[in-house]
Structure 1
Amino acid sequence: MEKPGFVYIVTNKRAGTLYIGVTSDLVRRIYAHREALIDGYSKRHGCRILVWYQAFEMIEDARYREVQMKEWQRAWKIRLIEVMNPDWSDLYPSLL
């Protein structure tokens, strides 16, 4: 049985540093970002605010989308966020 997956974007502030990731458990992963439990780029830059995500039926599709998005221009990523979340609100509470 295939696992579902999510691609997500976390940031440190509106139009700030963007981090794109993939996970099979969005709530757990964003909690880890918020609590700075994950060493690396997102922790160094304070990316703790969930501003965008997309669900997939299969984790492999989410991974493919993540690779695509990491190649995008910054302006495209910002536009994607603003279509779903024009105020750059933290979407984490809506997941709980």
Structure 2
Amino acid sequence: MDKHYVYILTNKNHTTLYVGRSKQLKQRLVQHKNNSLKSFTGKYNVTKLVYFETTKYVNNSIKREKQIKKWNREWKINLINSLNPDWKDLSEYI
């Protein structure tokens, strides 16, 4: 069974949140941390994994990513706090 991940990254001051999805989260995190994507996350140093969830099907991960992206900041923070109240980097759990 394949896993599809929806995840939230932040920077060290927790001022910026980024919502993404990937089938290969470990590889994607390396790309974010090394700024090899030359994207939003690199520009704002958004490399700390503070939330993730898995889905079985790609369509579910796409739907969930879009849902979370539409949420306001407070809802995203509540979601992170529900799993990771200390905002630790969860990269080691992937």
> Please, what TM-score do these two structures have when normalized by structure 1?
0.91
Contact 1:3 1:59 in 2 (8 A): no
Q: Distance in 2 between matches of 1:75 and 1:60?
A: 26
In structure 1, the residue matched to 2:65 is: 66
**What code does the residue aligned with 1:59 have?**
V
Moved over 6 A (4+): none
**What code does the residue aligned with 2:87 have?**
W
Deviations 1:32-74 (A, max 9, x none): 1111111211111100000000100011110110011111010
Q: Aligned runs of 1:69-80 on 2, under 5 Å?
A: 69-80=68-79
Gap runs ≥5 in structure 2: none
How many residues end up aligned between the 2 structures? 94
Gap runs ≥5 in structure 1: none
Q: Matched residues, percent identical?
A: 34
Secondary structure (helix, strand or coil) at the match of 1:22 reads: strand
In structure 2, the residue matched to 1:5 is: 4
Displacement of 1:4 after TM fit? 2.9
In structure 1, the residue matched to 2:51 is: 52
> Please, what TM-score do these two structures have when normalized by structure 2?
0.93
Structure 1 residue 40 and structure 2 residue 28: aligned? no
Displacement of 1:5 after TM fit? 0.9
Q: Distance in 2 between matches of 1:66 and 1:42?
A: 16
Secondary structure (helix, strand or coil) at the match of 1:21 reads: strand
Q: Distance in 2 between matches of 1:63 and 1:31?
A: 21
Contact 1:5 1:60 in 2 (8 A): no
In structure 2, the residue matched to 1:89 is: 88
Q: Distance in 2 between matches of 1:94 and 1:25?
A: 13
